[in-house]
Amino acid sequence: MPAVVALAGALAVLTGWLSQDGAQDVLERSAPVLGFLVAVTVLAELADDAGLFEAGASITARLGGGSVRRLFLLVCLLCTVTTLVLSLDTTAVLLTPVVLAMCRRLGLPALPFAFATIWLANTASLLLPVSNLTNLLAAHEQGLDALTYARHAALPQAAVLVVTVAVLLLRHRRALRGTYAVAPHPSAEDPVLLRLAAAVTGVVAVLLVLGLAPWAVATGGAAVLVAAYAGKRRDRLRLRLLPWRLVVMTIGLFLVVQGLQEHGLTRLLHDLAGDGEGGGALLRLTAVSAVAANAVNNLPAYLALEPMAGTADRLLAVLVGVNAGPLVLLWGSLATLLWRERCAARGVRVGAWQFAREGLLVVPAALVAGALAIGR
């Protein structure tokens, strides 16, 4: 898929279907976003190798105190924090296998925890610019720093989170009964690297919230861990740390959507999305955004709908749709595709119909709650 999307983007430019000015605009807008994506991926991968996520899951299991329901709520909290600070892809790719391994170790049903990771990877990705690439694009478009953006998104994010966790608890209430035996805390392979990874991640989180340039903060954090690994575990520094496939596919998506906008997509979406900033208008825009995200993936859907926004409230309605909405079709979010691969590698199979059936339980309620909370 990355190669096909990249080829489509290249052909759009080479054939002249996408104007040179349009291509240049896409590359200029995407450069800091993709810079952050590369840096935060390297940071998260090395932190995972150091045992940070495994330690987090182990601490969560101990805090659960043997109660399955309490453990589930703590895992939801861990997924939310990881998504907010290190992006939804980190939760889907790195935290999911750790949570599933914890379930196997404790003898717990895997599916409730698996769905918690991917639902919260998407629905908890609204609060900070760094939580989702769509947010970074939106914050840049509006010229908002992290704290200003967070204040605007806080209430919709809270509403979506409450709905998500409530539906999870209701849907899996039978599987979450009972107790478990707390497993021993695993020893770190290199305690020094683990403590450094924890410290670097914490500092990066604080600096991102304070509003420093995300790409610069993430690059600095990644550089510290790369330097530490170069001195202690050079063999772990491999090219696979770089998410080149994701970068190539993202650039291709951006180019293709820009070309579609130049050829009439904007007018078509304007007719569907409508105008206005009342509750009904924002809900309509959110619904259109969610349908578009499920149909063509959330990143191109955001780019196509961004011109429909115009105001901060309408832009936030788009974000609610493209962040919390793509939980019905598997290709609605790249994080979902990555999550499904990680689940399959751990022996947890999730079919397209099963995923859609589960997603339809939460998406409508989450979209309504998030849209109606905008501007309150």
**What span, in angstroms and rounded, lies between the C-alpha atoms of 197 and 243?**
20
Cβ atoms within 10 Å of 202's Cβ, excluding its own:
12
Amino acid at 275: D
* Alpha carbon of residue 216 to chain centroid: 20
* Alpha helices (H) along the chain: 2-14, 20-49, 52-63, 68-86, 88-90, 96-106, 110-123, 133-142, 146-171, 191-209, 214-232, 244-260, 266-273, 279-296, 298-305, 312-324, 334-345, 352-372
Q: What is the pTM of this model?
A: 0.82
Say whether 105 sits in a helix, a strand or coil. Answer: helix
> Which domain covers residue 229, as residue numbers?
2-372
Per-residue tens of pLDDT for the chain, all 376 residues = 667 777 888 888 888 888 888 888 878 877 887 888 788 888 888 988 888 888 887 888 888 889 999 999 999 999 999 999 888 888 887 788 889 888 988 889 999 999 999 999 999 999 999 899 899 888 887 888 888 999 999 999 999 999 999 999 999 999 999 998 887 776 778 889 999 999 998 888 888 777 777 888 889 999 999 999 998 888 888 888 888 887 887 788 778 878 887 777 777 777 787 787 888 899 999 999 999 999 878 888 888 888 888 788 999 999 999 999 999 998 888 788 878 887 887 789 999 999 999 999 999 999 999 999 997 7
Question: HSE (CB half, 13 Å, CA atoms) of 288?
Answer: 24
**What span, in angstroms and rounded, lies between the C-alpha atoms of 184 and 265?**
56
Domains of the chain: total: 1
**What span, in angstroms and rounded, lies between the C-alpha atoms of 355 and 224?**
39
* Alpha carbon of residue 28 to chain centroid: 22
Q: Which string of b and e fits 317-356 if b means at least 16 CB within 10 Å?
A: bbbbbbbbbbbbbbbbbbbbebbbebbeebebebeeeebb
